[in-house]
Amino acid sequence: MKRVGCFLVCAWLTGVAFAEERGLFPARFDVIGVDAADVLNIRRGPGTEHAIIGALGPQARDIEVVGLGPRGKWAHIATGEGGGWVSARHLRRQGDVGGGQLPYPLVCTGAEPFWALEFGDDGRAFFSAPDIPGEFFMPNWAGSAEGLPPQEFALVLQGKGSRATAMISRTECSDGMSDRPYGLAIRLLIGLDGNRCFFMGCCRLEPRPG
Q: Is the pLDDT of residue 40 over 50?
A: yes
Across the chain, mean pLDDT equals 88
| Per-residue pLDDT at 18 exceeds 60 | no
Q: Which residues touch 26 (CB under 8 Å, ≥6 apart)? A: 64, 65, 66, 67, 78, 103, 170, 182, 183, 184, 205
What is the C-alpha radius of gyration for the chain, rounded to an integer number of angstroms? 19
Say if residue 108 is exposed, middle or buried (CB neighbours under 10 Å; 0-12, 13-18, 19+).
Answer: buried
Query: In the chain, what percentage of residues exceed pLDDT 90?
Result: 71
Which band of pLDDT confidence, cut at 50, 70 and 90, is reported for residue 23? low
- Confidence at 96, pLDDT banded by 50, 70, 90: low
Banded pLDDT at 19 (limits 50, 70, 90) = very low
Q: Provide CATH code, domain 2-93.
A: 2.30.30.40
Q: Which pLDDT score, from 0 to 100, does residue 193 have?
A: 74
Q: Given CA atoms 79, 112, 162, 155 in this order, what sign does their dihedral have?
A: negative
3-class secondary structure per residue, the chain: CHHHHHHHHHHHHHHHHHHHHHCCCCEEEEECCCCCCCCEEEECCCCCCCCEEEEECCCCCCEEEEEECHHHCEEEEEECCEEEEEEHHHEEECCCCCCCCCCCCEEEEECCCCEEEEECCCCCEEEEECCEEEEEEEEEEEEECCCCCCCEEEEEEEECCCEEEEEEEEEEECCCCCCCCEEEEEEEEEEECCEEEEEEEEEEECCCCC
Q: What is the pLDDT of residues 127-181, one digit of tens each?
A: 999 888 889 999 999 999 998 888 999 999 999 989 999 999 999 999 999 999 9
Confidence of residue 194 (pLDDT cuts 50, 70, 90): confident
